[in-house]
Structure 1
Amino acid sequence: MPREAIALSIPDLSDFARRLGRDLEAADPRPGHLSLLNMIARAAGFRNYQHLRSGAARSLPTPPEPPVPSDPKKLAQASRLFDAGGRMIRWPKKTSIQALCVWALWARLPARQDMTEAEVNRAAEAFHLFGDRALLRRSLIDHGLAERARDGSTYRRIERQPPPEARDLIRALAERQ
């Protein structure tokens, strides 16, 4: 059975070493494996190793990940598909560019609100010039950016964090409007 990796964040290494040293001095014979694990957990501020494993360590804040830079080539390809008013002129052939363009439509849909198909159609009509709002509705669903009721009566935008290229495209199109 593979072992579970347990992340341990130690904000004050000096205090950790002091506490661990005290526990090691108090141990009469050399501590065994489990005793040593308990000492490490206590020095890190947990009751024992089981408390550390229970997920308490996972609740500690993790440092933020560095921002991922956007791909300027992808962004340029997607930007060429929009007119000066920020409306989509034509549907791209490449799936990755399609996904990027659908994010721009996603950004124009209201957050955390149920919409009828007619409301989604109005948003799609204002977004594009090539006359295929059904393609745009399906693409929102296919790319996981919206969900629709089984009977197709309501749509809802799925709240997600856009990738870097999508954020940059949304920002560039907002400036054009």
Structure 2
Amino acid sequence: MSRKLIPLIVSDTSSFAKSLRMQLSGHDGLPSHLQFLNMLARAAGHGSFQSLRARVEPSGSEEAPAAPASVVDTEIDRKLVDLKIDQKLVDRVQRSFDDDLRLMRWPARRMDQIAALWVLWSQIPAAREMSEKEVSALLRDRHLFGDHALLRRELYELGLMTRTRDGSVYRRVERPMPANAAAILRQRSRGRGS
């Protein structure tokens, strides 16, 4: 019997490596084969190896399931959220947004792009299914450089949104916000209050 190949696609190798390192350092001894597969899947933004496999080979269901919140390793997510704030990155990304928190330009650096995507993610309604048309309209309204498809695709590939296999229904994935993105929003709210 041949084994099914399950590809693992990583959009940001640096974040993947940091997450994997954190998981390994928090684990006692050498992880088992399944534990290591789960660590790899979580580092790539999936809830578990099972959710990665379901996304690759959906079992007849229309939607490739997102990992339930209980499956996500909240201790690791908390560590990722509490990483030191990079003020230079925060300032750079903040300059990419206008006063209405619309993304004016797509940042050149990958870490800046990820922080900008988190800021956009914060403006997507939680716990609501949206059609591709609704997501596109929301993203068109939240950016000024004319490529809502890029933003929609990046949000999905980063694991911040799920979608059905046919791409007709999208849903925001609830996750703790990384420190840099949260700092951008905090600075924005302080700036408006003054």
The verdict on a shared fold, with TM-score over 0.5 as the criterion, is yes
Which runs of structure 1 show a deviation greater than 6 angstroms over 4 or more consecutive aligned residues? none
User: Counterpart in 1 of 2:129?
Assistant: 114
1:60-110 Cα shifts (integer Å, max 9, x gaps)? xxxx97943311011011011111222111101111110100001110111
CA RMSD of aligned residues (A): 2.4
TM-score normalized by structure 2?
0.55
Residue 87 (structure 2) aligned to one of 34, 50, 72:
72
Q: Quick check: 1:133 aligned with 2:122?
A: no
CA deviation after TM superposition for structure 1 residue 173, in Å: 4.0
**Percentage of identical aligned residues:** 38
Read off the aligned partner of 2:116 and give its amino acid letter: C
CA distance in 2, matches of 1:67, 1:115: 30
TM-score normalized by structure 1?
0.59
CA distance in 2, matches of 1:94, 1:146: 21
CA distance in 2, matches of 1:154, 1:112: 13
Structure 1, gaps ≥5 residues long: 7-63
Residue 96 (structure 1) aligned to one of 111, 117, 133:
111
User: Counterpart in 2 of 1:47?
Assistant: none
Q: Quick check: 1:164 aligned with 2:179?
A: yes
Alignment of 1:17-36 (within 5 A): none
User: Counterpart in 2 of 1:26?
Assistant: none
Change (3 A) 1:175 1:123: farther
Larger Rg: 1
Change (3 A) 1:111 1:90: same
Change (3 A) 1:95 1:67: closer
SS at match of 1:155: strand
Alignment of 1:48-87 (within 5 A): 67-87=82-102
Residue 145 (structure 1) aligned to one of 160, 170, 180:
160
Change (3 A) 1:117 1:70: same
User: When the two structures are aligned, how many residues end up with a matched partner?
Assistant: 117
CA deviation after TM superposition for structure 1 residue 5, in Å: 4.5
1:116-163 Cα shifts (integer Å, max 9, x gaps)? 111111210121000110011001011111111100110011110011
